[in-house]
């Protein structure tokens, strides 16, 4: 049993500290736990690492972080870019500061300058810092919205986006080559500082990042008019958003920002929620309670690394607070940004583009096309949106106007190349102020948009399958769909079947096959009649298989009914496979 041998080697090797060995001794009689921790190395995927904190090769710990950083350092050396340095940020999770420091000291030991933030910072600011400092790469220690037992390690390249080809495969290959922990370099922090290889950053980056955000404001006049009237409830969900979100709103003049006190301060245990996800209703329990007390216009919550934004908006007619999904808030901001930039400037750039992912609502395309803009669809992951922005810059063709994905993330401006919940917070508050000058709420604006484009509704069903057996089952589900694609799903006929792993789109009526035009990915997508759709993909960050789907209705009620019926059919399909 190879995993047992690896387990024993960690216990006997003097390289590993006593605390780690003590943790491992505590599971000596639990073969299943030993296997889970040692049957493989924690996989360095296209977004980096993400896993449960603990001792073992398949866990997040200082040794796995060092080993991964050594692989990254080797790749940086291979492309001869050591002189540019690497920016490092971290969030409020357990072990985040320790992992960030271990990464910095490993880079320093390899002669690569590490720029490490003095305290926790949001993901988008790390993306911004990479470009601002001219770094070759960035490291962000975060597990985003995962439960408290998780942490992660995201790698960014010099364009400020998470790594994409060819750098992702190149870095992965170098990480895999590092097989002996004793070969991993590190050094004393004081020595690294003395050598100018460990540099603490903070205020200078904060200040210029803030200015970049504020430069995106379209209607400062509306903010000034409504700054004393608009009431905003905000929660950072124990994460990194507290200081930057409140700062940008204060500097713009918003006076009535009420912070959820119980969720204000950083806390890696996330004591007020089961997991800190702004997509979950429980994340808003405390915020909605406060909103009702102060009669707030909107309620906002950012996830721990502040790249995702959850939203609740008040319906002034009923007093009810409506949930805006990531698709809804993304479309609301898309419509606001495009309509108001056109109104202010008289027109939009002829080469203007909106970018979104294949699992994002079809409404995004409808909005972009109504303004005569190019709509670009990419694979799931904001790095692919960043890749398109880089392509515009390199070619001189294409103007990025807006990009978002269904998972509660968007980017306004090109200061960063990842989702930015701080700029989204700012923009939604600006939009709320603008619509308030028109006598409307954000919910009114949402209904106006539905009336203009159609009542799109999108949802997701997820199945969690943990452990080795779960991973195998997820692959089995994908292969079942791949080998036996459905011809009908619920009330809808399948018009075409896309297989992004095979790079094919098959027209079911004619049998005609064409390429998807996107990189290979284990994702299946079914275009249905009546502008409906279903997509199946394994999660890139959690042990889940996800079923995304969307419908288009004639009213909110009609869309809800159609979505519920399609969701029921999908669950029935899943049940047959489990």
Give the percent of the chain with pLDDT over 90.
Answer: 89
Q: Which residue has the higher pLDDT, 288 or 43?
A: 288
Instruction: Compute the distance between CA of residue 185 and CA of residue 353 in angstroms, rounded to an integer.
Output: 44
Give the percent of the chain with pLDDT over 70.
Answer: 99
Please compute the mean of the pLDDT values over residues 21-39 and round it to a whole number: 94
Least confident of 129-143, 302-316, 441-455, 473-487: 473-487
Residues designated catalytic: 144
Instruction: Decide the pairing of beta strands 86-90 and 137-141.
Output: parallel
Instruction: Compute the distance between CA of residue 168 and CA of residue 162 in angstroms, rounded to an integer.
Output: 9
Please compute the mean of the pLDDT values over residues 414-428 and round it to a whole number: 98
Name, in order, each residue with C-beta under 8 angstroms of 422's C-beta and a sequence gap of 6 or more: 122, 124, 125, 213, 241, 244, 245, 248, 302, 306
In 215-241, alpha helices (H): 220-226
Q: Say what the pLDDT of residue 465 is.
A: 78
> 3-class DSSP state for residue 374?
strand
**C-alpha distances out from residue 451 to 114, 375, 444, 456, 558, Å:** 51, 21, 11, 10, 13
Least confident of 22-26, 51-55, 147-151, 467-471: 467-471
pLDDT in tens, 117-136: 999 999 999 999 999 999 99
Please compute the mean of the pLDDT values over residues 255-263 and round it to a whole number: 98
Structure tokens given for 109 = 């030991």
Provide the sign of the torsion angle of the four alpha carbons 383, 386, 391, 397, taken in this order.
positive
pLDDT bin (cut points 50, 70, 90) of residue 469 is: confident
pLDDT in tens, 342-351: 999 999 999 9
The greatest distance separating any two alpha carbons of the chain, rounded to the nearest whole angstrom, comes to 71
**Residue 317: Cβ-neighbour burial (10 angstroms; 0-12, 13-18, 19+):** exposed
Q: Which residue has the higher pLDDT, 474 or 454?
A: 454
pLDDT bin (cut points 50, 70, 90) of residue 578 is: confident
**C-alpha distances out from residue 144 to 57, 278, 300, 309, 423, Å:** 21, 11, 17, 12, 17
**For 188, which DSSP code?**
-
**C-alpha distances out from residue 168 to 45, 216, 519, Å:** 8, 31, 13
CB 127 within 8 A of CB 138: yes
Query: How far is residue 214 CA from its own chain's centroid?
Result: 22
Please compute the mean of the pLDDT values over residues 297-311 and round it to a whole number: 97
Measured between its terminal Cα atoms, the distance across the chain in Å is 29
Mean pLDDT, the chain, whole residue set: 95
Q: Assess whether pLDDT exceeds 70 at residue 150.
A: yes
- 151 phi and psi, to 5 degrees? -145, 170
**Residue whose structure tokens are 């007390």:** 293
Q: Say what the pLDDT of residue 541 is.
A: 66
Q: Which pTM was predicted?
A: 0.94
pLDDT in tens, 362-403: 999 999 999 999 999 999 999 999 999 999 999 999 999 999
Q: Say what the pLDDT of residue 247 is.
A: 98
**Residue whose structure tokens are 């040794």:** 63
> Which of 99, 151, 155, 161 has its CA nearest to residue 124?
161
Q: Assess whether pLDDT exceeds 80 at residue 206.
A: yes
- 160 phi and psi, to 5 degrees? 90, 0
Q: Which domains does the chain have, with CATH numbers?
A: 40-201 (3.40.120.10), 217-453 (3.40.120.10), 455-577 (3.30.310)
Structure tokens given for 352 = 């203007």
Let me know how many helices (H) and strands (E) the chain has, helices first. 19, 23
C-beta atoms surrounding 418 within 10 Å: 28
Instruction: Compute the distance between CA of residue 126 and CA of residue 347 in angstroms, rounded to an integer.
Output: 33
Name, in order, each residue with C-beta under 8 angstroms of 519's C-beta and a sequence gap of 6 or more: 165, 379, 500
Name, in order, each residue with C-beta under 8 angstroms of 24's C-beta and a sequence gap of 6 or more: 7, 10, 11, 55, 56
**C-alpha distances out from residue 30 to 36, 101, 453, Å:** 10, 32, 57
Q: Say what the pLDDT of residue 470 is.
A: 78
Q: Say what the pLDDT of residue 475 is.
A: 86
pLDDT bin (cut points 50, 70, 90) of residue 47 is: confident
Q: Assess whether pLDDT exceeds 70 at residue 1.
A: no
Helix (H) or strand (E) holding 62: helix 62-78
Task: Please give the full DSSP string across 512-561, using - where no structure is assigned.
Answer: -EE---S---S-EEEEEGGG-EEEEEE-SSSSEEEEEEEEEESSHHHHHH
SS (H, E, C) 392-408: HHHHCCCEEEEEEECCC
């Amino acid at each position: 049993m190879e995993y047992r041998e690896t387990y024993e080697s960690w216990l006997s090797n003097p390289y590993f500290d006593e605390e780690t060995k003590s943790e491992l001794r505590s599971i000596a009689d639990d073969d299943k736990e030993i296997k889970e921790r040692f049957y493989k190395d924690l996989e360095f995927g296209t977004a980096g690492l993400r896993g449960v904190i603990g001792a073992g090769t398949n866990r997040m710990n200082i040794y796995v972080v060092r080993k991964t950083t050594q692989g990254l350092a080797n790749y940086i050396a291979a492309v001869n870019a050591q002189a540019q340095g690497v920016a490092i940020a971290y969030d409020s999770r357990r072990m985040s500061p320790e992992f960030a420091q271990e990464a910095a000291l490993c880079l320093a030991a390899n002669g690569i300058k590490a720029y490490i933030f003095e305290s926790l910072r949001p993901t988008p600011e790390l993306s911004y810092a990479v470009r601002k400092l001219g770094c070759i790469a960035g490291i962000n220690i975060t597990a985003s919205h995962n439960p408290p037992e998780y942490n992660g390690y995201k790698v960014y390249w010099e364009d400020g986006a998470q790594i994409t080809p060819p750098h992702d495969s190149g870095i992965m290959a170098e990480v895999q080559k590092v097989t002996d922990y004793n070969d991993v370099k590190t050094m004393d922090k004081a020595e690294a500082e003395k050598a100018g290889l460990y540099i603490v950053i903070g205020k200078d980056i904060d200040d210029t990042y803030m200015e970049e955000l504020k430069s995106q404001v379209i209607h400062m006049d509306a903010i000034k008019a409504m700054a004393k009237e608009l009431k905003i409830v905000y929660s950072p969900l124990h994460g990194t958003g507290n200081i930057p979100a409140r700062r940008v709103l204060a500097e713009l003049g918003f006076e009535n920002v009420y912070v959820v006190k119980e969720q204000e301060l950083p806390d890696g245990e996330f004591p007020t929620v089961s997991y800190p996800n702004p997509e979950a209703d429980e994340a808003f329990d405390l915020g909605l309670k406060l909103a009702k007390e102060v009669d707030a216009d909107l309620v906002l919550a950012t996830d721990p690394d502040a790249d995702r934004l959850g939203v609740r908006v008040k319906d002034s007619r009923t007093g009810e607070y409506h949930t805006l999904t990531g698709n809804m808030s993304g479309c609301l901001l898309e419509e606001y940004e495009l309509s108001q930039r056109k109104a202010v400037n008289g027109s939009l750039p002829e080469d203007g583009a909106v970018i979104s992912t294949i699992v994002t609502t079809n409404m995004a395309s409808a909005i972009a096309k109504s303004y005569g803009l190019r709509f670009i669809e990419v694979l799931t992951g904001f790095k692919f949106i960043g890749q398109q922005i880089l392509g515009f810059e390199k070619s001189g063709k294409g103007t990025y106007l807006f990009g978002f994905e269904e998972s509660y993330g968007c980017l306004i401006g090109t200061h960063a190349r990842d989702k930015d919940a701080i700029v989204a917070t700012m923009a939604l508050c600006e939009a709320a102020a603008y619509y308030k000058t028109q006598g409307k709420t954000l919910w009114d604006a949402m209904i106006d948009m539905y009336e203009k484009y159609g009542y799109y509704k999108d949802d997701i069903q997820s199945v969690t399958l943990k452990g080795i057996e779960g991973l195998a089952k997820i692959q089995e589900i994908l292969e079942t769909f791949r080998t036996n694609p459905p011809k009908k799903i619920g009330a809808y006929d399948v018009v075409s079947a896309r297989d992004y792993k095979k790079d094919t789109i098959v027209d079911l009526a004619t049998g005609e096959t064409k390429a998807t035009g996107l990189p290979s990915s284990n994702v299946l997508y079914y275009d249905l009649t009546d502008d409906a759709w279903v997509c199946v993909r394994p999660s890139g960050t959690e042990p889940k298989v996800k079923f995304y789907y969307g419908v288009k209705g004639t009213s909110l009620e009609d869309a809800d009914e159609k979505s519920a019926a399609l969701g029921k059919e999908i669950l029935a399909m899943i049940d047959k496979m489990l």
